[in-house]
């Protein structure tokens, strides 16, 4: 893969016609080491956030050994890319064939479930296996999160007793898991959910071997600057220590976004300006799905030399397809003299954005370049490191 020192250098020397995905393996490795060293339990990686095999390898090399997979495609991908990885199939609704292949062909022993029917499916598909870690997913609030995951999955309070009891009978190790929603903006999201775990354990009176606090750990975006991750870890650790579980019980987490948001950004070209609207060459059907469909704001900066002296103003973006939906409201703050032919870096697209690209309407490009400069925002650089890195933007 081509390598370049910086996004600015790449845009100004190569002047790419197609959008270019920039990847920063050093940023993903730094995030992984942070979780491996500081999370007070085991941090796995939620593969759905970005299934790039290169990224999986970077995370593995940085110490992530367990991978949360949610589909047979992800099971096969991780198995092929990192044969020694431990797979945890954490989608609570799975095809029986997928469970069987994960168990018999890929060595997966950990499965999540939120209903008796799913438990029966797992037991049938694994032919009554006795070496399973079964994680019962509880439904918890997404109140502190920017993206709710509260409606679709999870056993409700009235259902957990029977389910925990049945799963305990079938499991070698019994776990309880939850997801507080993505981009949780307060550590309280986790302490509140762990309170639900306590109630469920007390009510069912079962021995629990694993508590898995799921994903939801935030990253930094404009208008969404979360508290330091250490505060999340402290809150989780304190709440976990007070649970009625044995000393040998394990604490797990499944971060997706927090491990890969800083991994990737995108260079786009402005093809046309109409007032405060910029027509760029990537959009809703490319890496900017979240910007278009849920109004997510990403950091942006103009890549021009010499730099513009104009004051910033707010722009919205149109993507390249012939579709009105291909519109990103932003607002995105850029110098007021932005014009057709300029390049813009859109940052923090490593989580979900990069994973959801399509080639709809003939647009989109697979061109990927490694850069060694810093991501446009970071939860892993301290204040001094941020000042030193000239390309880190103020959110
Ligand atoms: C079961 C599960 N675990 C982990 C994640 C990763 O979440 P996040 O990217 O918010 O950390 C998700 C995301 O949807 C999920 O469904």
Record the tokens describing residue 218, joined without a space: 């935030």
Point out the ligand 1 atom lying closest to the alpha carbon of residue 90.
1
217/215 Cα distance (integer angstroms): 6
Given 207, 226, 260, which residue is the final one in a domain? 260
Share of the chain above pLDDT 70, in %: 98
Bigger pLDDT: 357 or 232?
232
**At 124, is the secondary structure helix, strand, or coil?**
helix
Residue 177 annotated in active site? no
Task: Report whether pLDDT(227) > 80.
Answer: yes
Per-residue pLDDT tens digits for 235-263: 999 999 999 998 899 999 999 999 999 99
- Residue 18, domain member (yes or no): yes
And the tokens for 145? Answer: 């999160």
Give residues (CB < 6 A) around ligand 1. 46, 48-49, 68, 90, 149, 179, 182, 214-217, 254-258, 351
262 SS3 class: helix
Helix (H) or strand (E) holding 54: helix 53-61
Q: Is residue 39 part of a domain?
A: yes
pLDDT band at 148 (very low <50, low <70, confident <90, very high): confident
Distance 214 CA to ligand 1 centre (A): 6
Kindly list the distances between the CA atom of residue 155 and the CA atoms of 114, 159, 177, 214, 224, in Å, as whole numbers in the listed order: 5, 6, 10, 15, 30
Question: From ligand 1's centre to the CA of 187, what distance in Å?
Answer: 16
Same domain, 236 and 145: yes
Specify whether the CB–CB gap between 291 and 348 falls below 8 A: no
pLDDT of the residue at 287: 93
Question: How much is the pLDDT for 330?
Answer: 93
Is 334 inside a domain boundary? yes
Q: For residues 137 and 268, state if they share a domain.
A: no
- The single-letter DSSP state of residue 52 is -
- For residue 384, tell me if it sits in a domain: no
Output phi, psi for 385, to 5 deg: -65, -35
Total number of domains in the chain: 2
Q: How far is the CA of 47 from the centre of ligand 1 (A)?
A: 9
- Does residue 91 fall inside a structural domain? yes
pLDDT at 394: 67
Element (H, E) at 236: helix 229-241
Q: Is 327 left (phi over 0), alpha (psi -120 to 50) or beta?
A: beta
Active-site choice (88, 108, 260, 322): 322
**Can you give the residue range of the structural domain that contains 279?**
2-23+261-374
Long-range contacts of 50-55 (CB under 8 A, 24+ apart): 50/256, 50/260, 50/263, 50/264, 50/350, 50/351, 50/352, 50/354, 50/355, 51/77, 51/355, 52/23, 52/354, 53/77, 53/81, 54/1, 54/23, 54/25, 55/23, 55/25, 55/28, 55/260, 55/263, 55/350
Q: pLDDT, tens digit, for every residue of 332-374?
A: 999 999 999 999 999 999 999 888 888 889 888 889 999 999 9
pLDDT at 395: 73
Asked if 6 and 137 sit in the same domain, the reply is no
Distance of CA 199 to the CA centre of its chain: 28
In a shared domain, residues 213 and 256: yes
Minimum-distance ligand 1 atom for the alpha carbon of 216: 10
Task: Quote the Cα angle for 90-92-93, to 5°.
Answer: 125
215, 224, 294, best to mutate for ligand 1 pocket (most atoms within 8 Å of CB): 215
- Is the confidence at residue 393, as pLDDT, over 80? no
Judge if 51 and 130 occupy the same domain: yes
Distance CA 208, CA 221 (A): 36
pLDDT > 90 fraction of the chain, expressed in percent and rounded: 87
Atom of ligand 1 at shortest distance to CA of 183?
10
Bigger pLDDT: 5 or 207? Answer: 207
Residues 59 and 145 placed together within one structural domain of the fold: yes
In whole angstroms, give the CA distance from residue 66 to residue 254: 9
Token code pair at residue 265: 């950004």
The pLDDT, as a whole number, for residue 364 is 83
CA of residue 96 to ligand 1 center, whole Å = 22
What tens digit of pLDDT does each residue of 164-206 get? 999 999 999 999 999 999 999 999 999 999 999 999 999 999 9
- 54 lies in a domain? yes
pLDDT in tens, 43-94: 999 999 999 999 999 999 999 999 999 999 999 999 999 999 999 999 999 9
| Long-range residue pairs from 82-87, CB within 8 A, at least 24 positions apart, any chain | 82/56, 82/57, 85/56, 85/60, 86/110
Residue nearest to atom 7 of ligand 1 (CA): 215
Instruction: Let me know if residue 380 belongs to a domain.
Output: no
Say if 358 falls within a structural domain.
yes
Residue 31: pLDDT band by 50, 70, 90 thresholds? very high
Confidence tier at 390 by pLDDT (50, 70, 90): low
- Tell me the CA–centroid distance for residue 290 and ligand 1, in Å: 15
Model confidence pLDDT, tens digit, residues 267-293: 999 999 999 999 999 999 999 999 999
Asked if 142 contacts 196 with a C-beta cutoff of 8 angstroms, the reply is no
Give the CATH number, domain containing residue 284.
2.40.37.10
Q: Is the pLDDT of residue 326 over 80?
A: yes
Question: Looking at ligand 1, which atom is closest to the CA of residue 352?
Answer: 9
Pocket test for ligand 1, best of 214, 351, 353 (most atoms within 8 A of CB): 214
- Domain check: are 292 and 198 in the same one? no
């Amino acid at each position: 893969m081509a390598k370049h020192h910086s996004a600015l250098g790449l845009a100004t020397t190569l002047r790419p016609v197609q959008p270019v995905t920039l990847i920063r393996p050093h940023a993903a490795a730094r995030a992984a080491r942070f979780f491996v060293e500081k999370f007070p339990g085991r941090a796995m990686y939620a593969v759905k956030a970005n299934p790039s095999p290169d990224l999986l390898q970077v995370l593995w090399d940085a110490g992530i050994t367990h991978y949360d997979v949610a589909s047979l495609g992800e099971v096969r991908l991780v198995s092929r890319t990192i044969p020694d990885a431990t797979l945890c199939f954490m989608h609570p609704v799975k095809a029986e064939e997928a469970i069987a292949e994960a168990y018999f062909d890929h060595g997966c022993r950990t499965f999540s479930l939120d209903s008796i029917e799913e438990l029966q499916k797992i037991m049938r598909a694994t032919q009554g296996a006795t070496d399973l870690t079964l994680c019962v997913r509880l439904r918890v609030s997404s109140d502190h999160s920017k993206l709710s995951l509260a409606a679709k999955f999870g056993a409700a309070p009235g259902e957990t007793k029977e389910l925990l009891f049945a799963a305990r009978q079938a499991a070698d190790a019994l776990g309880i898991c939850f997801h507080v929603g993505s981009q949780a903006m307060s550590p309280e999201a986790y302490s509140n959910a762990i309170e639900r775990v306590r109630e469920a354990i007390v009510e069912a009176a079962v021995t629990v071997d694993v508590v898995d606090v799921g994903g939801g750990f935030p990253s930094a975006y404009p208008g969404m600057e979360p508290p330091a991750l250490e505060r999340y870890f402290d809150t989780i650790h304190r709440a976990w220590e007070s649970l009625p579980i044995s000393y040998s019980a394990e604490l797990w987490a499944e971060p997706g976004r927090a491990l890969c948001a800083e991994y990737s950004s995108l260079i786009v070209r402005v093809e046309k300006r109409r007032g405060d609207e910029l027509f760029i060459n990537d959009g809703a059907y490319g890496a900017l799905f979240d910007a278009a469909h849920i109004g997510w704001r990403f950091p942006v900066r103009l890549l021009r030399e010499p730099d513009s002296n104009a004051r910033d103003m707010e722009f919205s973006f149109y993507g390249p397809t012939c579709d009105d939906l291909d519109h990103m409201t932003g607002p995105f703050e850029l110098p007021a003299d932005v014009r057709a032919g300029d390049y813009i870096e859109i940052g923090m697209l490593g989580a979900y954005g990069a994973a959801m690209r399509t080639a709809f309407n003939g647009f989109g490009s697979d061109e990927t370049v490694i850069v060694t400069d810093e991501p446009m925002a970071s939860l892993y650089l301290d204040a001094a490191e941020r000042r030193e890195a000239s390309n880190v933007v103020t959110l």
